[in-house]
Amino acid sequence: MSYDTVIAPAAGTVLPVDTIGTTKFPREKVAFGAEGFASDVSDSNPLPVGGTALLAALALVAPSTNAFSITPHDTNALSIIPRAIVAQVAGNIALRTSGSSADVVVSAAAGVPLPLRVQYVRLTGTTATGIVGFA
């Protein structure tokens, strides 16, 4: 069933359409460009995707390739910032994430990953043991 709608645009307004057979379809296509400019995406002008920001984001969702033991310390930063940490024995973990300037204490259940980018795991306040980082 076809529902035709007649649109009466204001004088001088042009509504782009694609005509397929005898039917006109509103033209809504992906375009990109700098402020005030737009280039339609096509086979010869693909949507640009990539760059270091995209690669970094993709790296964070890929499976970790490195597991390492974390020994809590009150002043030393971790040499590798993990994507997640897990405690083998439940308890509290006093930590500071890589994007924070303050420490927090989180409760860790045994074997349950905490998806945190941790820069410090403090000895004082940490009762969980067997802490492992995944990077």
What is 23-87 written as a DSSP string?
Answer: EEEE----EE-STT--EE--SSSPPP--SHHHHHHHHHHSPP--EEE----SSPPPSS--SEEEE
Domain annotation covers residue 45? no
pTM above 0.75, yes or no: no
Q: How much is the pLDDT for 73?
A: 98
Containing domain of residue 113, as a range? 63-134
What's the rounded Cα separation, in Å, for the pair 38 and 2? Answer: 32
**Beta bridge partner(s), residue 99:** none
Q: What is the mean pLDDT of each run of 10 residues along the chain (135 residues)?
A: 62 78 80 80 81 71 91 97 96 96 97 96 98 96
Domain annotation covers residue 102? yes
Residue 118: name the closest of 87, 92, 94, 82 by CA.
Answer: 82
Domain annotation covers residue 67? yes
Domain annotation covers residue 22? no
Domain annotation covers residue 35? no
Domain annotation covers residue 114? yes
Domain annotation covers residue 88? yes
Q: How much is the pLDDT for 31?
A: 80
Domain annotation covers residue 57? no
Q: How much is the pLDDT for 25?
A: 82
Domain count, the chain: 1
Q: How much is the pLDDT for 1?
A: 47
